[in-house]
Amino acid sequence: MTVKARIPDHIMRTSRIKKDKTQITINIVTYILVTIFCIMCILPFWMIIASSFASEDSIRRTGFTLWPTEVSTYSYELLFRSPDQMLGAYAVTIGLTLVGTLIGLFIVSMTGYALQRRDFPYRNGIMFYIYFTSLFSAGLVPFYLLIVQYLNLRDSYFAILLPLLMSPWLIVLMKNFVKAIPHEITESGKIDGAGDFRIFYSLVLPNLKPALATIGLFLALSYWNEWYYSSLFLTTKVTYRPLQYHLYNVINKVASLKNSVAGSNVVIKDLPGETLKMATAVIATGPIILLYPFVQKYFVAGLTVGAVKG
């Protein structure tokens, strides 16, 4: 017969009170730190928004502040002076982002899946070729000649769409995501008589939602922020250019106009400089920020795939 020692009730209550106080203290400290961190992240965005609605003269006198001393919408009026150009730039950028992200996800996911298949005989050689291109490239001149002379894509949106469809880093990332899927899943599909595309579409893709959200966000950001290829391959013959390149041209035109009248007797209305840059930042980053909350849960899960082995 065994006798179990019984802990007195007052000791249990004291221990429970100490644990409760410790947990409350930890929660308070955590909430304070998270609040401070959130404020530090929000303040720069708020300062950009506030400065975009400030007058250029107040920026010169007081600098950037959290609240504009003189409210002015002249920067936005200047940007939307040609609303058809702004709306066209938005339409081009949204179209390129949607089409490029969908096609890029399709290509990157299939490539990562194929390179992870054990029965694919040339996967090591192809993976080395992809990895090699991430370390060495031919340079800008051969790339420009390829797009302009051989592919004849000058003044075409395909010159922006094609180079950003996939990258070696995204393929390696997708390959590591697919590695976390058990090989038995594809084997069960083969036993049931499913083909490769059926296995990929029905069995592999549903398990790649975190990966698709993560890589899709990277692709969407790259298309949304693209301006370099636009400056190389799109000339004045193109009516509507991507948003970032359109805003870049507006800022350059205003800066050139201000420099051209500096020191002369020409009197013009005070053109915005710093406030115009802040307004373009708000216009360029505002819509894409709204995309992040929809993919946040998949994005966090995607970053932690493979971090814990069990």
Return the pLDDT at 302: 53
∠ Cα 92 94 98 (to 5°): 120
Return the pLDDT at 308: 43
- Verify that 42 and 151 share a domain, yes or no: no
Measure the CA–CA gap between 112 and 121, rounded to whole angstroms: 14
- Verify that 52 and 26 share a domain, yes or no: yes
Looking at residue 205, the DSSP 8-state letter turns out to be: G
- Verify that 34 and 180 share a domain, yes or no: no
Q: Which residue among 48, 75, 102 closes a domain?
A: 75
- Domain with 127, as residue range(s), is 82-306
- Verify that 178 and 293 share a domain, yes or no: yes
Question: What is the domain count for the chain?
Answer: 2
Q: Which residue among 60, 75, 90 closes a domain?
A: 75
- Verify that 109 and 43 share a domain, yes or no: no
Q: How many residues does the chain have?
A: 310
Return the pLDDT at 177: 84
Return the pLDDT at 268: 54
Kindly report the CATH number assigned to the domain that includes residue 291: 1.10.3720.10
Q: Which residue among 40, 75, 110 closes a domain?
A: 75
Return the pLDDT at 272: 73
Is the torsion defined by CA of 180, 181, 184, 187 positive or negative?
Answer: negative
Looking at residue 19, the DSSP 8-state letter turns out to be: H
- Verify that 50 and 91 share a domain, yes or no: no
**Mean pLDDT by groups of 10 residues along the chain of 310 residues:** 52 56 83 90 85 82 80 83 85 92 91 83 85 82 89 90 88 85 78 79 82 86 90 86 87 76 55 80 79 66 48
Looking at residue 151, the DSSP 8-state letter turns out to be: S
Measure the CA–CA gap between 273 and 148, rounded to whole angstroms: 35
- Verify that 165 and 245 share a domain, yes or no: yes
- Verify that 225 and 269 share a domain, yes or no: yes
> How much is the pTM?
0.78
